[in-house]
Structure 1
């Protein structure tokens, strides 16, 4: 009779494994982030690459064509954003003058109603602005460093993407060989299904996220232009792409636009209209677009998604906030197909587990 395993020892082994995994992710992030981005982009391009291969185009040329098309798309988006940023920079003197006017009005109001000297107000405000500036500077610096690192590694990322598209069959055969070696031939069909579903889940989710961002870029731009906001294209695209970060992105992006309209307009009517517009758009996103386009692809509950966001930010920063959610969705597919890990798949899923008759044996 085999000896019973000690639960405490098994818990320590699992805990050590998790610490080791996330420690490696943190220490090796400069190497792993380009690989992860390349892998996500390759999964996004797999359907297009397959279609080109059906047209009798060799796999290597298909991969290069897909990567070049994606690069042209990204360059076009960057060109539009840079033009809009240059146009927005012309309004900075006007924004500074409005801020000074608002501060002077605030100082006069506080001095008149609370008998607080203007010098004390300015000293207190200066201290608060210094703290907020340091915090905002750190946040903006992190984003700038992430974008600069992304640009520096852009060629490496696209090289990874093309190579992963070219060698995807070899990678799949490697995974199946491992399953055959350690789980037996009876699990091969299930392993093949897992590999196919993980690729489909990541590809469909990323395509859905890009589709939602494109739809919101158009709707936000049209809506802000109708309201009368200057640089509507820039703000519409900015809010749509920040919205890629679940939960946090929509609030952060819309707050920037509301603050801009509050500073640049002499009335509160326009900021209120912009706030109502974004509230309506967030409801449409939460209850219509995201559930229809991406909701059924990744099947994660809100708690698991929020934890993935925070953990991704802790380990990889801004890149982790974007990448860890599809990573967790792929992990859930694996959990659902491995018998001993099914409870974890149920825990992070977005719906209660339903009792179904299993057509295929799970991987053990």
Structure 2
């Protein structure tokens, strides 16, 4: 009876927590992203410590400042690419719309359905429904709001980083029980180590993937190659789905821009190969060694957090699930959940 009561209480608590997270997403999402930025800054600073000569010369605060500078410059590059490409993209939108419809027409000819009555109806519907200029306008407006949100996130990250030095002191004063304080400190240390390592490595991998993708697209002559490369780097933080979208968007652009199927095939195969090599050699190492999360657990968490927080939830799904797995592993009642979330059953 007690076990059943505990199960009911657990389910109710989970539902209430999910409801609070859903209605409070406008508050929680920037705070969580602020934490992620702090982890990336700290992770980059610790990675710099391992660089020969440079790590020994630079003090900790200098490495923090250099990490902040690197991230700030990266964001400025993204904003610059957005500004210089925005007007050009909107100006070319009508041309892209005609190119897309022409590509669809070529596909119909290839499939020998261009004279079918159903194809005529479908083509009329496409002409009526597809408006790339309106679609791009809404996308660019969304990007503008994202840039504003990034500024808020950086404000949170700045204050969190400033208060980081008082964290251990707060842990000491959180309870008079020395054993409890030691346990909390051990949990937070484990979380900081795993999440910091994961985010730092993932950032390096994403930058590497973006650079390779830019080379492939620039060689093919794809327009806005730098913009697509940055998008691919960001989407790499989203497991599984991010890789698919990172290939899909540039390939659609290639279909619109090029009539030569060989060039389109080059872009497709090049990007797929880059995603395949990094996804099968580097990413498993990061996921396995840093987080110890099951691929199925990652997929389920991606679905849950995307439902709660949309696109932001997709980016935050892996770090949040990793933190929950670490916390669950420290308590006897929730340890089975941590085992199920783990990659190999060992904690």
Q: With structure 2 as the length reference, what TM-score do the two structures score?
A: 0.82
The farther-off stretch of 317-326 and 89-98 is 89-98
Q: 2:278 aligns with which of 285, 306, 324?
A: 285
Q: What CA deviation, in whole Å up to 9, does each residue of 1:226-272 have, x standing for no partner? A: 23433322222222222221100111121122222223222322222
| Residue number in structure 2 paired with 1:221 | 214
| Residue number in structure 2 paired with 1:316 | 309
Q: CA deviation at 1:343?
A: 1.5
Distance 1:24 1:234 in 2: 36
Q: What CA deviation, in whole Å up to 9, does each residue of 1:143-198 have, x standing for no partner? A: 954x44443344432222122112224344444544x45xx433443432211111
1:167 aligns with 2:163: yes
RMSD, aligned α-carbons: 3.5
| Residue number in structure 2 paired with 1:209 | 202
| Residue number in structure 2 paired with 1:251 | 244
| Residue number in structure 2 paired with 1:38 | 34
Closer/same/farther in 2, CA of residues 69 and 95 from structure 1, 3 Å limit: closer
Q: What CA deviation, in whole Å up to 9, does each residue of 1:28-71 have, x standing for no partner? A: 1111112111111112222566879x9678x7x98777646533
Q: 1:156 aligns with which of 152, 156, 174?
A: 152
- Give the match's secondary structure for 2:222: coil
1:23 aligns with 2:19: yes
Q: CA deviation at 1:22?
A: 1.3
Closer/same/farther in 2, CA of residues 16 and 349 from structure 1, 3 Å limit: same
| Residue correspondence of structure 1 range 256-275 to structure 2 within 5 A | 256-275=249-268
Closer/same/farther in 2, CA of residues 215 and 167 from structure 1, 3 Å limit: same
Q: CA deviation at 1:320?
A: 1.1
Distance 2:308 2:330 in 1: 27
Distance 1:162 1:30 in 2: 19
Q: CA deviation at 1:89?
A: 4.8
Structure 2 residues without counterparts, runs of 5 or longer: 50-54
The farther-off stretch of 261-270 and 193-202 is 261-270
Closer/same/farther in 2, CA of residues 270 and 190 from structure 1, 3 Å limit: same
Closer/same/farther in 2, CA of residues 55 and 220 from structure 1, 3 Å limit: closer
Q: Please say which structure displays the higher CA radius of gyration.
A: 1
Q: What CA deviation, in whole Å up to 9, does each residue of 1:294-327 have, x standing for no partner? A: 5411221111111221111111111111112101
- Tell me if the contact between 1:208 and 1:294 (Cα under 8 Å) persists in the aligned partners: no
| Residue number in structure 1 paired with 2:78 | 77
- Tell me if the contact between 1:209 and 1:294 (Cα under 8 Å) persists in the aligned partners: no
Distance 1:249 1:346 in 2: 26
- Tell me if the contact between 1:301 and 1:351 (Cα under 8 Å) persists in the aligned partners: yes
Structure 1 residues without counterparts, runs of 5 or longer: 355-364
